[in-house]
Chains A and B, each alone.
Chain A
Amino acid sequence: MSTLDTTLETHSDEHHGPARGLGRWLFTTNHKDIGSMYLWFSLLMFLVGGSMALMIRAELFQPGLQLVEPGFFNQMTTLHGLIMVFGAVMPAFVGLANWMVPMMIGAPDMALPRMNNWSFWILPFAFAMLLSTLFMTGGAPNFGWTFYAPLSTTYAPPSVTYFIFAIHMMGISSIMGAINIIATILNMRTPGMTMMKLPLFCWTWLITAFLLIAVMPVLAGVVTMMLMDIHFGTSFFDAGGGGDPVLFQHLFWFFGHPEVYIMILPAFGIISQIIPAFARKRLFGYASMVYATASIAILSFLVWAHHMFTVGIPLAGELFFMYATMLIAVPTGVKVFNWVATMFRGSMTFETPMLFALAFVVLFTIGGFSGLMLAIAPVDFQYHDTYFVVAHFHYVLVPGAVFSIMAGVYYWLPKWTGHMLNERMGRLHFWLSFIGVNITFFPMHFIGLAGMPRRIPDYALQFADFNMIASVGAFLFGLSQLIFVWNVIACVRGGRKAEARAWEGAEGLEWEVPSPAPYHTFAEPPKLPESVR
């Protein structure tokens, strides 16, 4: 499976540095270049989507309509969700995979370098198209990131067609990225690296890639049906023609629930790399981590209707989806306990990546618990479409997915740039983010339980105080990300020289190559280091 003879041949003439100028970035097939482009793109989208979130929070600072039109507010909530999911979180994980997977498994590059280039370069065009809808007649999509039909078909602004094609392009990009990662991990491991020696980041990404391949085509099918309903007179979701709007929700969430695990499984992988490094202990329960990840992935296909408890599914269905959803807490709990057990009696130090990883474990668990509350079908009728849901998924996505990405970036930044990051600024960034995130999202639990609906620009007076607190927290969190941007740029430009093994306890093949990692690594398949064997 892992014969690398052909790779040596094809790569023997490429032992030179990168090309110069813009062409380097346009035509590159180097996994490190493409990984960097993914990460920069994701950072840009994170800031764009974040600005939209700040507009939302500014409007919600006080009850009443102050700053933006309600229609524009709806466009902001929609685009904020779409950009953060498809533009910030997913490309960041693909970028990390591009950079790290070949280096972790001892491969010279991704399996399909040209396709790799293509799957990145689709994204800027897709998001340019999506953002261009802001300037169109009728405005940008305003139906929420879940784009429920017929709101997104019969009642949608004309720009919805651009939205549909943007989703198609993002889907194609993700599918190609996923195929590439699977091919790399399955075919290009260095001799001796069996599947059960694979670093967990690779394992979680492998499973994520299979999820992507299973559900992104379904999403493409759903938006294609919308396209046909809008332009070709079909009635997939139009009750007037014998279609069914509830069908849309089933199809969407059949994609949507695995999608939320696509956004968290690679995070589990990153955390499973970082905690052992700073606890200076091997990861506790490696095999159980792998099986837990796989179980979560399989269960994710069986729980989609817990997003639709209120559409009128029968009691038996509600019970099935309720119990299936609660079952997911078991493998997730296995993971959390394994991380805690890894830290137990470890020689822990608290550098910036570890701080983010620890915050991940605590805050993701809080998000998981509110998810369990939402899984209880009878009470979901109260929580449905309230700020409680907003609080829940922001707890798993912001201090979950986003914190893990930041932890990963801080952890591997010395490997990428050859410089240690500014630890003092990193900690400042961490503490401001940690405090900001909790001030923003924790009050949302309370206003949600009290009944404030989501996606509204105005609210009743009794929600005013908590909304004001949340808005203050949002600006604190949002602005503190500028420290992150500053720190990354400073680290690229200079800083204390990083050693090959930048962190004392870090293990794995990626720490065997010098820092910064040379443009081409592992042209010859490496021997596994003692610690991995």
Chain B
Amino acid sequence: MSLHAANRKLVMRLAFGCVLMFGFGFALVPLYDVFCEVTGLNGKITNTGPIAASEADTSREIRVRLIAVHNEEMPWQFGPQQGLILTHPGEMKQTAFMATNPTGRRMVGQAIPSVAPAEAARYLHKVNCFCFEQQTLQPGESVEMPLLFVVDKNLPEHIRSLTLSYTLFDISPEVSSTGRGEKEQSL
């Protein structure tokens, strides 16, 4: 094989390697989500969807604390109906967060959940939740955002209380500038 051909072949391979690594960088984004979901790290889990009904384990009592956080200058009034809920593993509990838009303009908000300790994230099933949904509020409008959750019976013994926190983000500028629809809900 001549030197020219050998160089050509090698360069093609190396360039292909570069393209592959560029793709790998992007592939790390979903891989990271999958990794967090499998391991429950980062408190990032979103166990949403129906769950098979089962007996509650009344021998254990779990304290679930609900927290609302406003990101930056988000002006909405936003908070849980009850700050603390006592529940048993396997028991279905319903509560809600209240949101009011006190401003004079139409705004879009989006709440991102997080569970602490991170280890507990995968044991908190949210049967119905407003996580990651875009909520539009007209000036002065209020809305009740329901939350239905079950703490899994397999929750490790040493966890007696857990915290579910929602951070509310103002995404009005993004929604109006890009006109992106509801696709974020699928996350």
Q: Which residues of A line the B interface, CB within 8 A?
A: 1, 3-7, 111-112, 175, 178-179, 182-183, 186-188, 213-222, 225, 232-233, 235-236, 239-242, 244, 246-247, 250-251, 254, 312-314, 317
A217-B21, A218-B24, A314-B118 in contact; A182/B10 too (CB < 8 A)? yes
In residues 16-30 of chain B, which contact A (Cβ within 8 Å)? 17-22, 24-26, 28-29
List the B side residues contacting A239 at CB < 8 Å: 71, 112, 167, 169
User: Are B174 and A241 within 8 A (Cβ)?
Assistant: yes
Rank and list the top 8 A-B pairs by shortest CB-CB distance, nearest first.
A221-B25, A240-B169, A233-B178, A217-B22, A217-B21, A218-B25, A242-B187, A179-B14
List the A side residues contacting B93 at CB < 8 Å: none
List the B side residues contacting A187 at CB < 8 Å: 3, 6-7, 10
The answer for the CA separation of A373 and B24 in the assembled complex, in Å, is: 32
User: Are B42 and A246 within 8 A (Cβ)?
Assistant: yes
8 further interface pairs, Cβ-Cβ under 8 Å (given A178-B14, A179-B14): A1-B6, A4-B3, A6-B3, A218-B21, A218-B22, A221-B25, A244-B32, A312-B118
From residue A459, how far is it (CB to closest CB) to chain B in Å? 28
List the B side residues contacting A111 at CB < 8 Å: 3, 7
List the A side residues contacting B182 at CB < 8 Å: none
List the A side residues contacting B87 at CB < 8 Å: none
Q: Return the CB mask of B174-187 against A: 1 if under 8 Å, else 0.
A: 10011010001001
21 residue pairs from A and B, CB less than 8 Å apart: A1-B6, A5-B3, A6-B4, A175-B18, A179-B11, A182-B10, A182-B14, A187-B6, A188-B3, A217-B20, A218-B22, A220-B25, A225-B29, A239-B71, A239-B169, A240-B110, A241-B110, A241-B171, A246-B42, A247-B29, A251-B25
List the B side residues contacting A312 at CB < 8 Å: 42, 118
List the B side residues contacting A183 at CB < 8 Å: 7, 10-11, 14
User: Are B184 and A241 within 8 A (Cβ)?
Assistant: yes
User: Are B41 and A313 within 8 A (Cβ)?
Assistant: yes
From residue B152, how far is it (CB to closest CB) to chain A in Å? 19
List the B side residues contacting A178 at CB < 8 Å: 14
From residue A85, how far is it (CB to closest CB) to chain B in Å? 19
Q: Which residues of B line the A interface, CB within 8 A?
A: 1-4, 6-7, 10-11, 14-15, 17-22, 24-26, 28-29, 32, 39, 41-42, 44, 71, 110, 112, 118-119, 132, 167, 169-171, 174, 177-178, 180, 184, 187
- CB nearest to A115 among chain B residues: B11
User: Are A112 and B7 within 8 A (Cβ)?
Assistant: yes
Main secondary structure of the interface of A (DSSP, over half): helix
User: Are B19 and A217 within 8 A (Cβ)?
Assistant: yes
User: Are B2 and A3 within 8 A (Cβ)?
Assistant: yes
User: Are A236 and B29 within 8 A (Cβ)?
Assistant: yes
- Among candidates A112, A216, A221, A244, residue contacting B44 with C-beta atoms closer than 8 Å: A244
User: Are B3 and A214 within 8 A (Cβ)?
Assistant: no
A112, A187, A242, A250 interface centre (most CB from chain B within 10 Å) = A242
List the A side residues contacting B28 at CB < 8 Å: 218, 247, 250-251, 254
List the B side residues contacting A241 at CB < 8 Å: 110, 169, 171, 174, 184
User: Are B17 and A214 within 8 A (Cβ)?
Assistant: yes
A6-B2, A222-B25, A242-B187 in contact; A213/B18 too (CB < 8 A)? yes
User: Are A112 and B17 within 8 A (Cβ)?
Assistant: no
From residue B33, how far is it (CB to closest CB) to chain A in Å? 8
The answer for the CA separation of A1 and B2 in the assembled complex, in Å, is: 8
The answer for the CA separation of A203 and B147 in the assembled complex, in Å, is: 60
The answer for the CA separation of A257 and B18 in the assembled complex, in Å, is: 18
List the B side residues contacting A3 at CB < 8 Å: 1-3
List the A side residues contacting B32 at CB < 8 Å: 244, 247, 250
- CB nearest to B1 among chain A residues: A3
The answer for the CA separation of A246 and B28 in the assembled complex, in Å, is: 12
- CB nearest to A235 among chain B residues: B184
List the A side residues contacting B41 at CB < 8 Å: 313-314, 317
List the A side residues contacting B7 at CB < 8 Å: 111-112, 183, 187
The answer for the CA separation of A232 and B179 in the assembled complex, in Å, is: 11
From residue A320, how far is it (CB to closest CB) to chain B in Å? 13
From residue A313, how far is it (CB to closest CB) to chain B in Å? 7
The answer for the CA separation of A112 and B6 in the assembled complex, in Å, is: 12
The answer for the CA separation of A250 and B42 in the assembled complex, in Å, is: 13
User: Are B118 and A221 within 8 A (Cβ)?
Assistant: no
